[in-house]
Amino acid sequence: MKSTLFPLKFQVEAQDGEARAGVITTRRGVIETPVFMPVGTAGTVKGIRFEELESADLDARIILGNTYHLWLRPGIDVIKAAGGLHRFIGWDRALLTDSGGFQVWSLGDLRKITEEGTEFRSHVDGSRKFLSPEVSMEVQAALGADIVMVFDECAPGQATHEETERSMELTTRWAQRSRSAFDRLQSEGVETGHVESSPGLSGRQALFGIVQGASHLDLRRRSLEQTVEIGFDGYAIGGLSVGEEKSVMFDVIDDIAPRMPRDCPRYLMGVGTPTDLIEAVARGVDMFDCVLPTRNGRTGQAFTSRGKLNIKNAQWAKDPRPLDESCRCSVCRRHSRSYLRHLFLTGEMLASILLTHHNLAFFLDTMRGVRQSIRSGDFLKFRREFTERLGANGE
C-alpha cells in the first residue's frame, strides 16, 4: 500500500473569482496563501535580521535561498557541516531553494548549455563549474530546504517559437531527470534534509516543477501538460519578468495559471511589484518571490500605499511624515522621511536597514490584506481600492 504521507499539504479554503486563499502545511509550520517569500540569496535576506522576519510586523513564514550562490559560497561542505541550510543560517521556518538554473542562465556568455547540463565560470573565483539536474538535486538535498525546485532552462523573452520549443523540451527532459534524481536521493535519505514525520507529513522535501515556454502560449500549455504528467508537489511559472512587456507576462499568467492543477500550490517565480502580485492572485497564483522590496530598499526606494517614493528627493528634507501614513510597521511608527533621507544621503547603513524593513512589511501586509479580502469575498474591491490609492504613481 502506498504511503498517504506527503511532503506538504495544500488546501484551498476560499475562492473569489480565480483568486484563492489557502494553507500550505509544511514540515516547518503553516503558510497562508497567497504568500510572498522574501529572497535570501546568500543565506540572508539582505539588510534584515531573522528576528525581524519573524516579528509581527513581517511574520514571513517562508523565505527563499539561491542554490547557485550558496553552492559557490560558502560551499556545500560548510553548509553540510552545519547540518543543512536551516541550521547554518539560524532559521527554523520554511525554506524554498531554487535550482540554480535561472542564475546560471543569467550569466549569458559565461555559460554553455548542453543536453547534459550547464557549464559556467564561477563569478566568485572564475573556476569552471558544471550544473545539471542531478547536481542541482544533490546540492538542494544537502541544503535541505522544505521545497526544492527542478533544474530548468529559461528562454529569453524575445525567443522565437523554434528556439523556445527547443528550450522548453530541454526543460521537460531536465524536469524528468530532476524528479528521478530527487526521488533516488529521498529514498536513500542521506543528507536530504529529512525531518521527523508528523501528522499527515512524511518529513521529506517537496519538489516543484516549472512551466517554461516564454511568451508562446501553445508551448506554455504543452510545458504545463508535460510537467504535470511527470508529477510534482507544486507547480511554478518560470521565465517571466525577464525583459518581456508586462502585458505579455499577464497574457501568459491569464492563460496558464487557471489551467494549473487546482489542488497544488501555484508559484509565479521572480515577480513582482505589489500590483503585479495582486493581478497574478486575481489569475489564480498562490506563491511569489521577488528581490524588489529588499533591492529597492537599498537604493532608496520605498513602496507605499500611495505608490513608490524615492527617499533621496529634496522634497522630503524636512518632511516629518513616515514613509507611508497608512503603514503601522516599526519604521513608520518611529521615523520620518526627513530622517530617512538624511541617513540615505549620509551613506548610513541604517537607511538600507529601515527601508528594507518597511518594504518587506508593505509587501507582506499587502498579502495579508489580499488573503483576508478573498476569504471575505471582497477581493475585487480590495484590488480596485489598492490600485486607486496608488494613483498616478502606478506601482
Listed ranges 86-94, 114-122, 203-211, 381-389: which one lies at the site for a copy of itself (CB under 8 A)? 86-94
Q: Is 359 in the site for a copy of itself (CB under 8 A)?
A: no
Task: Give me the least distance between CB of 349 and a copy of itself, in Å please.
Answer: 5
- The catalytic site residues sit at 98, 289
Q: Which is closer to a copy of itself, CB of 8 or CB of 340?
A: 340
| C-alpha grid cell, residue 292 | 524588489
Strands 234-237 and 206-211: parallel
Q: Is 291 in the site for a copy of itself (CB under 8 A)?
A: no
| Contact residue for a copy of itself among 354, 355, 360, 361 (CB under 8 A) | 354
Q: Is 38 in the site for a copy of itself (CB under 8 A)?
A: no
Please list every residue from 362 through 391 that binds a copy of itself, using CB under 8 A.
none
In the block, residue with C-alpha cell 499539504? 9
Q: Which is closer to a copy of itself, CB of 80 or CB of 259?
A: 80
Q: Which is closer to a copy of itself, CB of 275 or CB of 359?
A: 359
3-state SS, the chain, equals CCCCCECCEEEEEEEECCEEEEEEEECCEEEEECEEEEECCCCCCCCCCHHHHHCCCCCCCEEEECHHHHHHCCCHHHHHHHCCHHHHHCCCCEEEECCCHHHHHHCHHHEEECCCCEEEECCCCCCEEEECHHHHHHHHHHHCCCEEECCCCCCCCCCCHHHHHHHHHHHHHHHHHHHHHHHHHHHHCCCCCCCCCECCECCCCEEEEEECCCCCHHHHHHHHHHHHHHCCCEEEECCCCCCCCHHHHHHHHHHHHHHCCCCCCEEECCCCCHHHHHHHHCCCCCEEEECHHHHHHHCCEEEECCEEEECCCHHHCCCCCCCCCCCCCHHHHHCCHHHHHHHHHCCCHHHHHHHHHHHHHHHHHHHHHHHHHHHCCCHHHHHHHHHHHHHHHCC
Q: Which is closer to a copy of itself, CB of 49 or CB of 381?
A: 49
| Contact residue for a copy of itself among 11, 49, 189, 393 (CB under 8 A) | 49
| Contact residue for a copy of itself among 89, 139, 236, 390 (CB under 8 A) | 89
Task: Give me the least distance between CB of 14 and a copy of itself, in Å please.
Answer: 35
| Contact residue for a copy of itself among 176, 180, 301, 330 (CB under 8 A) | 330
Q: Is 125 in the site for a copy of itself (CB under 8 A)?
A: no
Q: Is 122 in the site for a copy of itself (CB under 8 A)?
A: no
Listed ranges 9-17, 38-46, 158-166, 365-373: which one lies at the site for a copy of itself (CB under 8 A)? 38-46
Task: Give me the least distance between CB of 37 and a copy of itself, in Å please.
Answer: 18
| Contact residue for a copy of itself among 348, 377, 381, 394 (CB under 8 A) | 348
Q: Which is closer to a copy of itself, CB of 158 or CB of 315?
A: 315
- Which parts of this chain interact with a copy of itself (CB under 8 A)? 42-44, 46-51, 73-74, 77-78, 81-82, 88-90, 317-318, 320, 330, 334-336, 338-339, 341-343, 345-346, 348-350, 352-354
